[in-house]
Protein backbone atom coordinates (compact mmCIF):
# COMPACT_ATOMS: atom_id res chain seq x y z
CA UNK A 1 0.00 0.00 0.00
CA UNK A 2 1.49 3.32 -1.12
CA UNK A 3 0.91 5.86 1.62
CA UNK A 4 2.82 8.93 2.81
CA UNK A 5 2.60 11.09 5.92
CA UNK A 6 1.89 14.10 3.72
CA UNK A 7 -1.19 12.59 2.04
CA UNK A 8 -3.83 14.21 4.23
CA UNK A 9 -2.24 17.66 4.27
CA UNK A 10 -2.01 17.72 0.47
CA UNK A 11 -5.48 16.25 -0.08
CA UNK A 12 -7.11 18.85 2.17
CA UNK A 13 -5.10 21.85 0.97
CA UNK A 14 -7.76 23.40 -1.28
CA UNK A 15 -10.50 22.93 1.30
CA UNK A 16 -8.47 25.20 3.60
CA UNK A 17 -6.63 27.53 1.25
CA UNK A 18 -6.96 29.26 -2.12
CA UNK A 19 -3.20 29.77 -2.26
CA UNK A 20 -0.88 27.87 -4.61
CA UNK A 21 0.20 24.46 -3.32
CA UNK A 22 3.99 24.29 -3.61
CA UNK A 23 5.51 20.81 -3.18
CA UNK A 24 9.28 20.80 -2.74
CA UNK A 25 11.82 18.02 -2.31
CA UNK A 26 14.83 16.32 -3.83
CA UNK A 27 14.59 14.49 -7.10
CA UNK A 28 13.21 10.93 -6.86
CA UNK A 29 11.50 11.34 -3.47
CA UNK A 30 8.06 10.82 -5.04
CA UNK A 31 6.62 14.31 -5.57
CA UNK A 32 4.93 13.55 -8.89
CA UNK A 33 3.83 10.11 -7.68
CA UNK A 34 2.05 11.45 -4.61
CA UNK A 35 0.34 14.21 -6.59
CA UNK A 36 -0.89 11.86 -9.31
CA UNK A 37 -2.27 9.53 -6.66
CA UNK A 38 -4.10 12.30 -4.75
CA UNK A 39 -4.99 14.62 -7.65
CA UNK A 40 -5.62 12.10 -10.41
CA UNK A 41 -7.98 14.45 -12.28
CA UNK A 42 -5.54 17.36 -12.49
CA UNK A 43 -4.11 18.62 -15.78
CA UNK A 44 -0.32 18.15 -15.69
CA UNK A 45 2.07 20.53 -17.42
CA UNK A 46 5.55 18.99 -17.35
CA UNK A 47 8.29 21.56 -17.84
CA UNK A 48 10.63 18.79 -19.06
CA UNK A 49 8.44 18.81 -22.20
CA UNK A 50 10.09 21.40 -24.46
CA UNK A 51 6.94 22.74 -26.16
CA UNK A 52 5.25 23.21 -22.79
CA UNK A 53 8.34 24.88 -21.39
CA UNK A 54 8.50 27.24 -24.37
CA UNK A 55 4.84 28.14 -23.96
CA UNK A 56 5.21 28.79 -20.24
CA UNK A 57 8.32 30.90 -20.89
CA UNK A 58 6.16 33.37 -22.84
CA UNK A 59 4.52 34.48 -19.58
CA UNK A 60 1.27 35.23 -21.37
CA UNK A 61 -2.05 34.20 -19.77
CA UNK A 62 -3.65 33.74 -23.20
CA UNK A 63 -0.91 31.28 -24.17
CA UNK A 64 -1.26 29.49 -20.84
CA UNK A 65 -4.96 29.05 -21.39
CA UNK A 66 -4.29 27.39 -24.77
CA UNK A 67 -2.42 24.64 -22.89
CA UNK A 68 -5.54 23.76 -20.90
CA UNK A 69 -8.89 22.12 -21.51
CA UNK A 70 -12.21 23.82 -20.91
CA UNK A 71 -13.13 21.41 -18.13
CA UNK A 72 -9.85 21.74 -16.22
CA UNK A 73 -10.06 23.13 -12.71
CA UNK A 74 -6.78 21.94 -11.15
CA UNK A 75 -3.39 22.49 -12.80
CA UNK A 76 -0.06 20.93 -11.82
CA UNK A 77 3.11 22.53 -13.18
CA UNK A 78 5.74 19.85 -12.59
CA UNK A 79 9.42 20.80 -12.21
CA UNK A 80 8.63 24.53 -12.39
CA UNK A 81 12.13 25.40 -11.19
CA UNK A 82 13.35 24.78 -14.75
CA UNK A 83 11.63 27.96 -15.96
CA UNK A 84 13.70 31.14 -16.07
CA UNK A 85 11.23 32.84 -13.73
CA UNK A 86 9.01 30.23 -12.01
CA UNK A 87 7.49 32.78 -9.65
CA UNK A 88 6.28 34.93 -12.51
CA UNK A 89 4.61 31.95 -14.20
CA UNK A 90 2.86 30.91 -11.00
CA UNK A 91 1.78 34.49 -10.33
CA UNK A 92 0.13 34.69 -13.77
CA UNK A 93 -1.91 31.56 -13.03
CA UNK A 94 -2.90 32.80 -9.60
CA UNK A 95 -3.70 36.42 -10.47
CA UNK A 96 -4.92 36.27 -14.07
CA UNK A 97 -6.39 32.75 -14.33
CA UNK A 98 -8.14 32.49 -10.95
CA UNK A 99 -10.61 29.90 -12.23
CA UNK A 100 -7.79 27.33 -11.93
CA UNK A 101 -6.33 25.98 -8.71
CA UNK A 102 -2.57 25.63 -9.02
CA UNK A 103 -0.03 23.10 -7.74
CA UNK A 104 3.66 23.46 -8.53
CA UNK A 105 6.57 21.13 -7.81
CA UNK A 106 10.29 21.71 -7.73
CA UNK A 107 13.40 19.81 -6.75
CA UNK A 108 15.51 22.92 -6.32
CA UNK A 109 14.07 24.89 -3.44
CA UNK A 110 16.64 27.65 -3.76
CA UNK A 111 15.62 28.49 -7.33
CA UNK A 112 11.92 28.54 -6.54
CA UNK A 113 12.40 30.50 -3.35
CA UNK A 114 14.86 33.02 -4.74
CA UNK A 115 12.85 33.77 -7.86
CA UNK A 116 9.36 33.09 -6.58
CA UNK A 117 9.35 34.39 -3.02
CA UNK A 118 8.57 37.98 -3.98
CA UNK A 119 6.22 37.08 -6.85
CA UNK A 120 4.25 34.64 -4.73
CA UNK A 121 4.32 36.50 -1.43
CA UNK A 122 1.02 35.74 0.28
CA UNK A 123 -0.03 33.50 -2.59
CA UNK A 124 1.51 30.11 -1.70
CA UNK A 125 1.75 27.41 0.95
CA UNK A 126 4.92 25.29 0.93
CA UNK A 127 5.02 21.55 1.63
CA UNK A 128 8.15 19.40 1.81
CA UNK A 129 8.49 15.76 0.83
CA UNK A 130 11.49 13.78 2.03
CA UNK A 131 12.76 10.25 1.37
CA UNK A 132 10.57 7.64 3.06
CA UNK A 133 10.32 7.58 6.81
CA UNK A 134 10.78 4.22 8.49
CA UNK A 135 7.05 4.13 9.20
CA UNK A 136 6.24 4.74 5.52
CA UNK A 137 8.69 2.00 4.56
CA UNK A 138 7.12 -0.51 6.95
CA UNK A 139 3.57 0.20 5.78
CA UNK A 140 4.47 0.16 2.09
CA UNK A 141 6.13 -3.23 2.57
CA UNK A 142 3.15 -4.66 4.44
CA UNK A 143 5.09 -5.03 7.69
CA UNK A 144 2.83 -2.65 9.63
CA UNK A 145 -0.72 -1.52 8.98
CA UNK A 146 -0.77 2.16 9.86
CA UNK A 147 1.60 5.11 9.83
CA UNK A 148 2.98 6.36 13.13
CA UNK A 149 5.34 9.03 14.41
CA UNK A 150 7.57 6.81 16.52
CA UNK A 151 10.15 7.53 17.91
CA UNK A 152 9.03 11.18 18.21
CA UNK A 153 5.95 10.11 20.16
CA UNK A 154 8.12 8.03 22.47
CA UNK A 155 10.21 11.09 23.29
CA UNK A 156 7.11 13.07 24.19
CA UNK A 157 6.04 10.24 26.50
CA UNK A 158 9.37 10.52 28.27
CA UNK A 159 10.91 7.45 26.68
CA UNK A 160 8.84 5.09 28.83
CA UNK A 161 7.49 2.46 26.44
CA UNK A 162 6.58 -1.19 26.45
CA UNK A 163 8.07 -3.53 23.89
CA UNK A 164 5.57 -4.82 21.34
CA UNK A 165 5.98 -8.10 19.49
CA UNK A 166 6.31 -7.67 15.72
CA UNK A 167 6.26 -10.56 13.23
CA UNK A 168 9.27 -9.35 11.27
CA UNK A 169 13.00 -8.93 11.87
CA UNK A 170 13.23 -5.27 12.79
CA UNK A 171 16.99 -5.42 13.24
CA UNK A 172 17.45 -6.71 9.68
CA UNK A 173 15.18 -3.94 8.35
CA UNK A 174 17.18 -1.29 10.20
CA UNK A 175 20.55 -2.65 9.08
CA UNK A 176 19.40 -2.64 5.45
CA UNK A 177 18.18 0.95 5.73
CA UNK A 178 21.43 2.10 7.34
CA UNK A 179 23.25 0.88 4.23
CA UNK A 180 20.80 1.43 1.36
CA UNK A 181 18.61 4.24 2.65
CA UNK A 182 14.98 5.12 2.07
CA UNK A 183 14.59 6.53 -1.42
CA UNK A 184 11.20 5.29 -2.72
CA UNK A 185 12.80 3.68 -5.78
CA UNK A 186 14.70 1.32 -3.49
CA UNK A 187 11.39 -0.49 -3.03
CA UNK A 188 11.72 -1.79 -6.59
CA UNK A 189 15.56 -1.79 -6.53
CA UNK A 190 16.30 -3.37 -3.13
CA UNK A 191 19.94 -3.29 -2.06
CA UNK A 192 20.91 -1.87 -5.46
CA UNK A 193 24.21 -0.03 -5.04
CA UNK A 194 24.45 0.71 -8.78
CA UNK A 195 21.15 2.58 -8.71
CA UNK A 196 22.26 4.62 -5.71
CA UNK A 197 25.61 5.47 -7.28
CA UNK A 198 23.83 6.76 -10.39
CA UNK A 199 21.65 8.94 -8.18
CA UNK A 200 24.65 11.10 -7.32
CA UNK A 201 24.59 12.80 -10.72
CA UNK A 202 20.83 12.68 -11.27
CA UNK A 203 19.82 13.78 -7.76
CA UNK A 204 22.72 15.77 -6.38
CA UNK A 205 24.22 17.61 -9.29
CA UNK A 206 21.75 17.69 -12.18
CA UNK A 207 19.91 20.84 -11.14
CA UNK A 208 23.00 22.52 -9.73
CA UNK A 209 24.89 22.06 -13.00
CA UNK A 210 21.92 22.94 -15.23
CA UNK A 211 21.37 26.15 -13.30
CA UNK A 212 25.09 27.03 -13.48
CA UNK A 213 25.39 27.26 -9.71
CA UNK A 214 28.58 25.20 -9.45
CA UNK A 215 31.62 26.73 -11.08
CA UNK A 216 33.78 23.85 -9.82
CA UNK A 217 31.89 20.54 -9.87
CA UNK A 218 34.93 18.37 -8.94
CA UNK A 219 35.52 20.49 -5.82
CA UNK A 220 31.81 20.39 -4.98
CA UNK A 221 31.78 16.59 -5.27
CA UNK A 222 34.91 16.31 -3.13
CA UNK A 223 33.30 18.57 -0.53
CA UNK A 224 30.16 16.46 -0.44
CA UNK A 225 32.29 13.33 0.03
CA UNK A 226 34.12 14.96 2.93
CA UNK A 227 30.78 15.85 4.50
CA UNK A 228 29.66 12.25 4.00
CA UNK A 229 32.66 11.03 5.97
CA UNK A 230 31.91 13.34 8.88
CA UNK A 231 28.15 12.98 9.37
CA UNK A 232 27.19 14.00 12.86
CA UNK A 233 30.36 16.06 13.21
CA UNK A 234 30.89 19.80 13.36
CA UNK A 235 31.52 21.58 10.08
CA UNK A 236 34.69 23.66 10.06
CA UNK A 237 34.56 25.74 6.88
CA UNK A 238 38.21 26.84 7.05
CA UNK A 239 39.43 23.27 7.54
CA UNK A 240 37.37 21.96 4.63
CA UNK A 241 38.54 24.84 2.43
CA UNK A 242 42.16 24.05 3.23
CA UNK A 243 41.71 20.38 2.33
CA UNK A 244 40.03 21.23 -0.98
CA UNK A 245 42.16 24.22 -1.97
CA UNK A 246 39.17 26.53 -2.35
CA UNK A 247 37.91 29.52 -0.36
CA UNK A 248 35.95 29.15 2.87
CA UNK A 249 33.18 31.30 1.39
CA UNK A 250 32.88 28.88 -1.52
CA UNK A 251 32.68 25.95 0.91
CA UNK A 252 29.91 27.67 2.86
CA UNK A 253 28.00 28.54 -0.32
CA UNK A 254 28.24 24.97 -1.67
CA UNK A 255 27.02 23.58 1.66
CA UNK A 256 24.06 25.97 1.51
CA UNK A 257 23.31 24.76 -2.02
CA UNK A 258 23.40 21.14 -0.86
CA UNK A 259 21.00 22.05 1.94
CA UNK A 260 18.65 23.87 -0.42
CA UNK A 261 18.76 20.85 -2.75
CA UNK A 262 17.54 18.61 0.10
CA UNK A 263 20.71 16.50 0.13
CA UNK A 264 21.95 17.48 3.59
CA UNK A 265 20.69 19.45 6.55
CA UNK A 266 22.59 21.10 9.37
CA UNK A 267 21.76 21.70 13.01
CA UNK A 268 23.26 24.49 15.08
CA UNK A 269 24.45 24.51 18.70
CA UNK A 270 21.99 24.93 21.53
CA UNK A 271 23.03 27.81 23.73
CA UNK A 272 21.67 30.28 26.22
CA UNK A 273 24.80 32.40 25.74
CA UNK A 274 26.94 30.50 28.21
CA UNK A 275 30.57 31.43 27.64
CA UNK A 276 31.96 27.95 27.38
CA UNK A 277 29.37 26.66 24.87
CA UNK A 278 30.43 26.53 21.26
CA UNK A 279 28.13 28.77 19.26
CA UNK A 280 29.34 28.74 15.68
CA UNK A 281 29.96 25.43 13.90
CA UNK A 282 26.90 23.43 12.74
CA UNK A 283 26.68 19.66 12.47
CA UNK A 284 25.84 18.06 9.14
CA UNK A 285 23.49 15.15 8.41
CA UNK A 286 22.25 13.51 5.21
CA UNK A 287 18.55 13.13 4.46
CA UNK A 288 19.28 9.68 3.05
CA UNK A 289 21.98 7.25 4.10
CA UNK A 290 21.91 5.29 0.84
CA UNK A 291 22.99 8.38 -1.05
CA UNK A 292 25.58 9.11 1.63
CA UNK A 293 27.05 5.61 1.36
CA UNK A 294 27.09 5.88 -2.44
CA UNK A 295 29.19 9.04 -2.18
CA UNK A 296 31.89 7.20 -0.22
CA UNK A 297 31.32 3.93 -2.16
CA UNK A 298 30.77 1.86 0.97
CA UNK A 299 27.90 -0.61 1.00
CA UNK A 300 29.45 -3.01 3.50
CA UNK A 301 27.08 -4.59 6.04
CA UNK A 302 26.62 -2.57 9.23
CA UNK A 303 28.29 -5.19 11.42
CA UNK A 304 31.51 -4.85 9.39
CA UNK A 305 31.70 -1.05 9.45
CA UNK A 306 33.59 1.40 11.60
CA UNK A 307 30.97 4.10 11.05
CA UNK A 308 27.94 2.15 12.30
CA UNK A 309 27.49 4.55 15.23
CA UNK A 310 27.49 7.54 12.88
CA UNK A 311 24.98 5.81 10.61
CA UNK A 312 22.59 5.15 13.49
CA UNK A 313 22.88 8.72 14.80
CA UNK A 314 22.20 10.15 11.32
CA UNK A 315 19.26 7.79 10.93
CA UNK A 316 17.64 8.84 14.22
CA UNK A 317 18.19 12.56 13.66
CA UNK A 318 16.79 12.43 10.12
CA UNK A 319 13.82 10.30 11.24
CA UNK A 320 12.98 12.74 14.04
CA UNK A 321 13.38 15.61 11.59
CA UNK A 322 10.81 14.07 9.22
CA UNK A 323 8.31 13.23 11.96
CA UNK A 324 8.70 16.66 13.54
CA UNK A 325 7.71 18.23 10.22
CA UNK A 326 5.00 15.78 9.11
CA UNK A 327 3.43 15.65 12.57
CA UNK A 328 3.69 19.41 13.10
CA UNK A 329 5.34 18.91 16.50
CA UNK A 330 7.15 22.25 16.21
CA UNK A 331 10.48 21.45 17.86
CA UNK A 332 13.74 23.24 17.10
CA UNK A 333 16.71 20.95 16.42
CA UNK A 334 20.13 21.68 17.95
CA UNK A 335 23.09 19.90 19.48
CA UNK A 336 25.04 20.85 22.61
CA UNK A 337 28.74 20.83 23.27
CA UNK A 338 30.95 22.75 25.67
CA UNK A 339 34.58 23.68 25.25
CA UNK A 340 35.22 21.33 28.14
CA UNK A 341 33.98 18.40 26.05
CA UNK A 342 30.51 17.75 27.49
CA UNK A 343 28.11 16.89 24.68
CA UNK A 344 24.51 15.98 23.89
CA UNK A 345 23.74 14.59 20.43
CA UNK A 346 20.41 16.34 19.93
CA UNK A 347 18.41 18.97 21.78
CA UNK A 348 14.73 19.39 20.89
CA UNK A 349 13.18 22.58 22.23
CA UNK A 350 10.06 24.68 21.92
CA UNK A 351 10.63 27.01 24.85
CA UNK A 352 12.73 27.25 27.97
CA UNK A 353 10.27 24.91 29.64
CA UNK A 354 10.02 22.27 26.89
CA UNK A 355 13.51 20.92 26.31
CA UNK A 356 14.34 17.31 25.49
CA UNK A 357 18.01 16.30 25.44
CA UNK A 358 18.53 13.19 23.34
CA UNK A 359 21.51 10.88 23.61
CA UNK A 360 21.75 8.54 20.59
CA UNK A 361 23.63 5.34 21.31
CA UNK A 362 23.99 2.01 19.57
CA UNK A 363 23.43 0.42 22.99
CA UNK A 364 21.82 1.78 26.14
CA UNK A 365 24.38 3.69 28.23
CA UNK A 366 24.46 6.00 31.20
CA UNK A 367 23.10 9.48 30.66
CA UNK A 368 25.46 12.46 30.59
CA UNK A 369 24.21 14.62 33.46
CA UNK A 370 26.11 17.81 32.51
CA UNK A 371 23.32 19.18 30.32
CA UNK A 372 20.64 18.59 32.93
CA UNK A 373 22.80 20.24 35.57
CA UNK A 374 22.99 23.34 33.42
CA UNK A 375 19.37 23.15 32.24
CA UNK A 376 17.45 21.59 35.15
CA UNK A 377 14.11 22.29 33.46
CA UNK A 378 15.04 19.83 30.69
CA UNK A 379 14.59 16.08 30.56
CA UNK A 380 16.91 13.57 28.95
CA UNK A 381 16.14 10.48 26.90
CA UNK A 382 18.50 7.85 25.51
CA UNK A 383 17.59 6.42 22.10
CA UNK A 384 19.28 3.16 21.21
CA UNK A 385 18.74 0.33 18.76
CA UNK A 386 17.00 -1.46 21.62
CA UNK A 387 14.26 1.09 22.22
CA UNK A 388 13.83 3.48 19.27
CA UNK A 389 10.86 1.62 17.73
CA UNK A 390 9.13 -0.01 20.69
Each residue's pLDDT tens digit, 139-194: 999 999 999 998 888 888 765 556 666 778 889 999 999 999 999 988 888 888 89
The per-residue pLDDT for 119 is 78
CATH 3.40.50.300 residue ranges in the chain? 7-128
In the prediction, which pLDDT does 365 show? 62
Convert the pLDDT of each residue in 311-341 to its tens digit: 999 999 999 999 999 999 999 999 998 888 8
Per-residue CA distances from 80 to 77, 182, 338 (Å) = 6, 25, 44
Residues 6+ away with beta carbon under 8 Å from 203: 26, 27, 28, 263, 291
The whole-number pLDDT of residue 215 equals 81
CA distance 158 to 141: 29
Tell me which CATH homologous superfamily contains domain 7-128.
P-loop containing nucleotide triphosphate hydrolases (3.40.50.300)
**Would you state the pLDDT for residue 187?**
83
Which stretches within the chain are classed as H helix? 7-11, 13-16, 31-38, 50-56, 61-66, 86-96, 109-116, 134-140, 152-156, 170-180, 193-199, 206-210, 217-229, 237-244, 248-260, 289-295, 308-326, 370-374
The helix or strand, by DSSP H or E, that contains position 385, with its residue range, turns out to be none
Mention every residue, 6+ apart, whose C-beta is less than 8 A from residue 273.
279
* Category of 156 on φ-ψ map: left (φ > 0), alpha (ψ -120 to 50) or beta: alpha
| Residue ranges of the chain whose pLDDT lies below 50 | none
Rg of the chain's alpha carbons, rounded to an integer?
Answer: 22
Rounded to whole angstroms, the Cα distance separating 268 from 284 reads: 9
- Whole-number Å distance between alpha carbons of 336 and 203: 32
CB 157 within 8 A of CB 277: no
Amino acid sequence: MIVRHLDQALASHFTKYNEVLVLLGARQVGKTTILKRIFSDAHYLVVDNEPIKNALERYDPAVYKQLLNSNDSLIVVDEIHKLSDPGRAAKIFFDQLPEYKLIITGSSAFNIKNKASESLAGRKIDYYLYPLSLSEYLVQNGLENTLSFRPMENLLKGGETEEIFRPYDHKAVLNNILVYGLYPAMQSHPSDSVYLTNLIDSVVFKDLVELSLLENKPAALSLLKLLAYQIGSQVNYAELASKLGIGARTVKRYIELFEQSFIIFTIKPYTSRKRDEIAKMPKVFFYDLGLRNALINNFDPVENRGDSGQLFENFIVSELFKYNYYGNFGYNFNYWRTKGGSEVDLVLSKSNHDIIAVEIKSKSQRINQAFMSRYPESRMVVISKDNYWV
